[in-house]
Structure 1
């Protein structure tokens, strides 16, 4: 029997039985019941100077192979977003190259790709609203030229200078007017980026969501969906129920995605829909960093939904939520470290390294808990490889194995 050595925060060690893995099967055809994107990370060159403050030097072979693997499981790829370290190590030049290369891979694999559109190429910290609009449009038009779906990310520049909801309305109205394809709007909460406090002109989600819904309603045909990443299921459900027909809710809630994606056969309030009213939005689609960490498990769960087997969906995906909560534990913006760590354990990159040196952002006991929960939720794709790599890391750090 193989065992995993685990390290607690007090330095004590224990052993857990190594599970055999999930033996999940890739889908024979496209997934049907949910639209699901895995927000993918980038892999740095092992020998490069990817230290804090240095431009990202990316291992393109490993980075793009990771995306091909996601497509092979029937999921789409969400690229050049916060999981790829936007605003945390991925510079403007690397971002543009990533978008172009990822869009090309999507065409080769017949996969669906959406990518982040932001204002982060601006060197200045404080700019005018017109500069924010122009920066958004520049990245939007580049994305459209590459053939990728745009995700209009929350802008730190806009959050700094906006004086109220009207500024958000003005910026989004102008940017959406120039879009030639429908975009996804991304509402990123302060757990992921504290600099986005008060986004859409209010600190509380109830008031801010009214502005978001107004923007969508005033721009018919311009918005394909909304990705909400507030780690608050109540807010997502409330907005989801009010979205116009044809606008999807993509959950970005890495704490509560199992129930949000699974949905219900009744309106969230508990009352049955009448024959005349518009059917309630009973589930969310997915755009999740967590799905990059558990791609085979996520695919198997959605395949179960495709087969009408909600019980198997819960059995397969349910245990991963505790793993995701560990990966996304406070400070949540360091979740990228856990995603890259699992990628390394699962054999998708040669070393546990990240651009900007961000692989050092989590402690060894934190990573140990990820190993424990990944093993329990069958998220280790090659358990023996994961065991070998993890134990080697422990030895390197002076832990007896």
Structure 2
């Protein structure tokens, strides 16, 4: 089969494109297991059932078999799974009721694997922001979700709260909420600082629109409660800010990079430390990330960067503004790579990116060597192109 096709270009034209790169393969469940020297979580997407009789913009229609199979794939490559997070369309198609279902299914699968590392997003998304929502309401909402996750035997990723961002009057309100919640959790949690580029409703989180000023509050809360904090995931798309915060954390607290623009350099680190990883892009580039992390553990820094370097332009494209629509690119790659038989998403979110965006994603994915079956990828890309009249 020819590995050539015509892709749209800026200005309305078409250009020939031929796939020439050999796909990068990663060992799946190698003898003795994977040996990484960083903790690496992949935030995983959900697969929908496109044949469900429902209203796609309003109803959940999750294909549980395919959704859990993808988590098994990530575990096989050595990753932990960050579950029910924004990559799973939490707050953009997946509500708390759906998240509870996802948590039950994922935790059931994890119980069958002693090697399965998994943690679950717990937040306040069942309490919509509003003028009548108080700080006490936020606390109760966090407590409810935490109790559910812990009741399933799960670990907590403490998600940022839209309701808290709307209700808080000062940094003291954040201190009150987090001190109260962290004082109650059974096991150390991962705190998630999700920047406003991912969710505009979280603007001014920690009590300030200035990230460095907000960091003062976040670091104070985390270090004061270090015994209850496994780590913090920072998603500000700024290597400089992440490094500043990383150097100020209590030594027992991990920094998990959530920077899908600069993850390679942040994971590699410098002479003063490094970041672990909790990344949505690892869903899309899992084989490359697995091989690269194995090379890093072998102190082969050159190979680590050589493998990850071509994935960075791909990730920056997937996460380009409006960044909150990055999930579309993640699911599109899952479709191209055969992890699902369709390009459909919760809430019809497959429509959030243009055919030009998807075509450039295809080019960059080929250059990054993350199209695992080029023939299949070409056939599926042609199917998508046909929907916009490109034959």
Normalised by the size of structure 1, how large is the TM-score?
Answer: 0.93
The 10-residue stretch of structure 1 (71-80 or 122-131) with the greater mean CA deviation from structure 2 = 122-131
| Residue equivalent to 1:322 | 313
Please give the alpha-carbon distance, in whole angstroms, between the structure 2 residues aligned to 1:380 and 1:90.
27
Does the 8 Å contact 2:50/2:61 carry over to 1?
A: no
How many Å separate the matches in 2 of 1:123 and 1:196?
13
Give the one of 60, 74, 83 matched to 2:87. Answer: 83
Alpha-carbon distance between aligned partners in 2 of 1:145 and 1:44, rounded to the nearest angstrom: 26
Aligned to 2:120: 115
Tell me whether 1:43 sits opposite 2:47 in the alignment.
yes
Distance 1:186 1:312 in 2: 30
Q: Secondary structure at the match of 1:353?
A: coil
Q: What displacement does 1:218 show?
A: 1.8
1:44-99 deviation line (CA, Å, top 9, x unaligned): 11112565641211000111111111011001110101111111110221110101
- Distance in 1 (CA, whole Å) between partners of 2:233 and 2:84 is 15
Question: Secondary structure in 1 aligned to 2:60?
Answer: coil
Corresponding position of 2:265:
259
Question: What 5-or-longer segments of structure 2 have no aligned partner?
Answer: none
Pairwise CA RMSD: 1.4
Offset from partner CA, 1:10-40 (integer Å, 9 cap, x none): 2211122212311332352133211111100
SS at match of 2:225: coil
Check if 1:294 corresponds to 2:288: no
**Which position in structure 2 is the counterpart of 1:101?**
105
Cα distance in 1, alignment partners of residues 217 and 54 from structure 2: 39
Tell whether the 8 Å contact from 2:26 to 2:77 is kept in structure 1 after alignment: no
Aligned counterpart, 1:20? 22
Q: Which runs of 5+ in 1 are unaligned?
A: 267-279
The TM-score with structure 2 as length reference comes to 0.96
**SS of 2:138 mapped into structure 1:** helix
The one of 69, 72, 75 aligned to 1:71 = 75
Once the two structures are overlaid, the 10-residue window that deviates more, 6-15 or 56-65, is: 6-15
* 1:44–1:50 Cα contact (<8 Å) kept: no
Question: Equivalents in 2 of 1:242, 1:11: separation in Å?
Answer: 49
> 1:107-163: CA deviations, max 9, x gaps?
223310011111011256341111100110111111112222211111000000100
| Worse-matched range after superposition: 35-44 or 121-130 | 121-130
